[in-house]
Amino acid sequence: MRILILHGPNLNLLGRREPAIYGRTTLAEIDDALGRIAREAGCTIECLQSNAEHELIDRIQQTLDADGRVDGIVINPAAFTHTSVALRDALAASGVPFVEVHLSMPEAREPFRHRSLLADLAVGRVSGFGARSYNYALQGLIGHLNSAASE
């Protein structure tokens, strides 16, 4: 099983950016933890962080090609959650099951963060548990994919 982990804008600043909201765990630490979870489950992961919307979209579109194919996606679209119809369209076109993840709980923050343009397409959504949100999202996606494979 191959899973793509996508990190949106400003997540490269984790550990330094607004630690009261996002915590002190760095993106590298999150990716390392996800790698351990994946290995224990017999999966491989590929992690990509970009501040550029088109780079995230390009990688999602690559899932349609044999070389870029993945079984699932964990995505923290960050600010693109609320603004990117293009990211939504790329995820829909890929047909790849995905889990939307957030470190904080968007619904408990500013009103403009309350609406996700991706949530209705996702197989799951995890938020509010800090860096552990990623762990729960990956574990949930692996469980979903394993269940789908056994049906």
Q: Taking the model in full, what pTM does it have?
A: 0.93
Domains detected in the chain: 2-150 (3.40.50.9100)
- What amino acid occupies position 147? S
Tell which residue, 8, 16, 13, 18, has the closest CA to residue 109. 18
Query: Do the Cβ atoms of 124 and 134 come closer than 8 Å?
Result: no
More confident: 104 or 81: 81
Answer yes or no: 102 catalytic. yes
pLDDT at 104: 79
Residues 6+ apart with CB under 8 A from 34: 5, 45, 47, 74, 134, 135, 138
Query: Do the Cβ atoms of 96 and 63 come closer than 8 Å?
Result: yes
Q: Which of 7, 54, 82, 102 is catalytic?
A: 102
CA 30/CA 109 separation, integer angstroms: 23
CA 138/CA 123 separation, integer angstroms: 12
Q: Which of 22, 82, 114, 136 is catalytic?
A: 22
Q: pLDDT for 2-36, tens place per residue?
A: 999 999 999 999 999 878 878 889 999 999 999 99
The whole-chain average pLDDT of the chain stands at: 93
Answer yes or no: 134 catalytic. no
